[in-house]
Structure 1
Amino acid sequence: MIMVKRLIFLLLIVSSCQHSDLLTIEGSINNSLDEVSAAESLINSDLIWVIEDAGNDNHLYGLSRKGKIIMDITILNAENTDWEDLTSDSAGNIYIGDFGNNNKKRKLFRILKVKKEDLNASRAHAEIIEFILPKDVKSKDFEAFFLFNNYFYIFSKETKKFIVLKVPNKTGRHEAIVISDYNLKGKHNKITSADISFNDEKVLLLNHDKLWALSGFEGDDFFSGAINKLPFQHNTQKEGVCFVNDTIVILTDERNDYEGGNIYSFNLK
């Protein structure tokens, strides 16, 4: 019965996507991965890199657009405390954001660097970047980040006003800097993933039912330019977004019974 319901749900989404020409299912993620919490794409690669969040294995997966597992890399020196997002640099290294904090009690957060040369292996040791919050900032949950000018920009997951942290891309322990706070208009504004375009000109913030596209900003004041809301045609637990080129992005969602567990493409134009 669950499989039948899932098939009906997929058919409804496909029909909606074909009608709207906005969100298109590319494939169904391998059934062994129920809680995919991120997505990342590298230049000149067809793989979609994903992770799962708290309680799952310490693995980095490379998927085909159809959702088949092509690469499965065990990170040997790091447990999956709460892996929530992925980003990468121009050299082809991938970074895992281990900064989920659902109970708001965590004090030490980590970013794991997986080197490009290890992305073809089955096992890897990650370089570890740690950060703490400033003393006047209460512990928060973080699920979204990207790399810009060799700094990580990390967004807290809030119902209303959220903060943006800045952490250097450098091995060791750092105290994060709060560079801004912002309150996006409307409801359901918890940020679950983020990415920046390859040319550094557009930032995307993801929620379960929409994207916010930020452009025309100055430096790292990402909210100083245009902010456009791009709604989807349905609402699932979307937790991964990444650019594949200047206009097309990939999204992933967690599997919940017969809903989700898919790879989607979205046209920003």
Structure 2
Amino acid sequence: MLKYKILWFLFNLKASLAGYRHEVHELGFQKGKKHLKVERVGYLPKQVDESSGLVYLAQDSTLLTHNDSGGAPHIYQIDLSGKLLNTYPIPQAKNVDWEDMSADEQENLYIGDIGNNSHQRQDLCVYKIDAKLGENLLRIPIYYPNNQIIPDAEAMFVAQDSIYVFTKNLDKSGTDLLVRKVGSNADTLRLKSHINLRTPITGAAINPQKNKFVLISYGKIYYFRIIEHQIDFSNPLYCLNFPHKQTESIAFLDENVVIITNEQGEIYRVCEN
């Protein structure tokens, strides 16, 4: 797993340094370096050695994160500089390949056990955990459309009572956005949008105002506008080179500021000018 990630990190770092030509001229992004400021703001605690999901808790200005595949089924609460504050075991859940985390307006958490590097997993799911990180846990199965090879996905968020999943697509065929209702009995994802991004997506987040979302990869950040509540790829905003190691977690602090962590333990803040 580690060797696999390092190889893909190096490959996508090379892609990120190639510039913005594809994103600007073919996909309609603006160059992010004109609009965004990046600064490193802290380091993760040693307990978080493969940060792979991130949620911001506005009520106390802290972050929740978790480790990647095979880690303990724990959620770690840290401050914005990375100091460990609390550890919350989720004993009813199993970390097969936890890849992202989100929260709804009631502050319930959603952990995406959706990683599928081998394309062989049949037990993909999203865990819904109550806002108090208590005993109430719901396992939401995730199925892709019939007759489709089950892709790998490492990015998701929850909005408008739905789960949005972004595929990683290591074959460089672009990124699919699929969606399903949180409480629906029909638990098959449906394809909503596609975009020809050339770096595999490893994390996603939506801002509190629900007018913008971001995707992160090993090498680039992609910003999109949300117009008339339509979450899709039709309104690209910024693309920013971000060659800061194995970045897999991203969360909004407010409408215009995101926090990013990487698997080497660094924390970055990206602010719109």
TM-score, normalising length from structure 2?
0.81
Structure 2 match to 1:163: 176
For these two proteins, the number of residue pairs brought into alignment is 237
SS state of the match for residue 101, structure 2? strand
Segments of 4+ moved more than 4 angstroms: none
| Alpha-carbon contact 2:249-2:260 (below 8 Å) kept | yes
Q: Where do 1:181-192 residues align within 5 Å? A: 181-184=194-197, 187=198, 189-192=199-202
**Alpha-carbon distance, 1:55 to partner:** 1.3
Q: Where do 1:168-183 residues align within 5 Å? A: 168-170=181-183, 174-183=187-196
| Alpha-carbon contact 1:127-1:171 (below 8 Å) kept | no
| Alpha-carbon contact 1:150-1:169 (below 8 Å) kept | yes
| Alpha-carbon contact 2:75-2:87 (below 8 Å) kept | yes
Structure 1 match to 2:139: 128
1:103-160 alpha-carbon deviations (Å, 9 max, x no partner):
1111231111111122xx6xx4521111211112211111001112110110000233
Q: Where do 1:35-184 residues align within 5 Å? A: 35-118=50-133, 124-158=135-169, 159-170=172-183, 174-184=187-197
Residue type of the partner of 1:207?
A: S
**Alpha-carbon distance, 1:267 to partner:** 0.7
Residue type of the partner of 2:218?
A: H
Are residues 216 and 99 of structure 1, via their aligned partners in 2, closer, same or farther at CA, if it must alter by over 3 Å? closer
Q: After superposing the two structures, state which structure 1 stretch, 124-133 or 236-245, moved more.
A: 124-133
Residue type of the partner of 1:94?
A: L
Structure 2 match to 1:267: 271
Are residues 49 and 83 of structure 1, via their aligned partners in 2, closer, same or farther at CA, if it must alter by over 3 Å? same
SS state of the match for residue 132, structure 2? helix
Q: Counterparts of 2:57 and 2:94 in 1: how far apart (Å)?
A: 24
Are residues 220 and 138 of structure 1, via their aligned partners in 2, closer, same or farther at CA, if it must alter by over 3 Å? farther
Are residues 110 and 254 of structure 1, via their aligned partners in 2, closer, same or farther at CA, if it must alter by over 3 Å? same
Q: Which runs of 5+ in 2 are unaligned?
A: 1-34
1:203-259 alpha-carbon deviations (Å, 9 max, x no partner):
101012221100154543521123320223x3300000000011111000002xxxx
What percent of counterpart residues are identical? Answer: 27
